[in-house]
Amino acid sequence: MRMQSAVALIAALFVSGPVHAGSLVDFDKGVNASEVLETARVSARLDARMPSGRIVGARRVEASGGKCAVDRAFLQLGWKLHPSSEFDAVLAKVKRRVESGEGIKKGVSFPLYSEELHKLIELSAYDDTNTNSDTMIDDYVFIANDETKKVIEVRWFEGGKQHLVYRDLSCANKPIPWAYNSMW
């Protein structure tokens, strides 16, 4: 089974181009080769639609018009990108949840370079201990301008889905999640 999955993963890379490693195969759960290939086919269809169509499902990608490679990567991984007009409401809601302290513990916090802003930003993550870590690690992430400390991007896990909203940017910041159950 593992050999079939490995062969399917290699085939999927040729079908869909660069992919997020955690998004295709969980070798410990024994995903079969046909499921991996179908995921790759869906991914390839998304790639074909996004550069020119700017339509994902039935909604327009308002944040960047679908032209940003980082936004497309998030969409390809199944994230819901919210329009910047929702930023303030989302920020307030997520901050209230994190500040409530109910089952929330501080995760990592570190500076990183923003290719979008051409300067350092600060990523701060918080974990909801009520969410199984196999489901999601660090359920809430705030990304702030390192100089002003103003939050410019919010990532959160809700309803079984990863969400992202940003303001004062034309594109989401990296890092793109390193695993299917990660926010960064």
The H or E element containing residue 112 is: strand 104-114
The angle at the Cα of 48, spanning 47 to 49, to the nearest 5 degrees, equals: 90
Q: Which pLDDT score is estimated for 155? A: 95
Q: Quick check: 63 pLDDT over 90? A: no
Residues 3-52: tens digit of each pLDDT: 343 433 333 333 333 333 333 333 334 444 444 344 444 444 444 443 33
Residues 92-127: tens digit of each pLDDT: 999 999 999 889 999 999 999 998 899 999 999 999
Architecture in CATH of 80-166: Roll (3.10)
Q: Where do the domains of the chain lie?
A: 2-53, 80-166
Q: Report whether 39 contacts 12 (CB < 8 A).
A: yes
H helices of 23-68, where?
A: 33-53
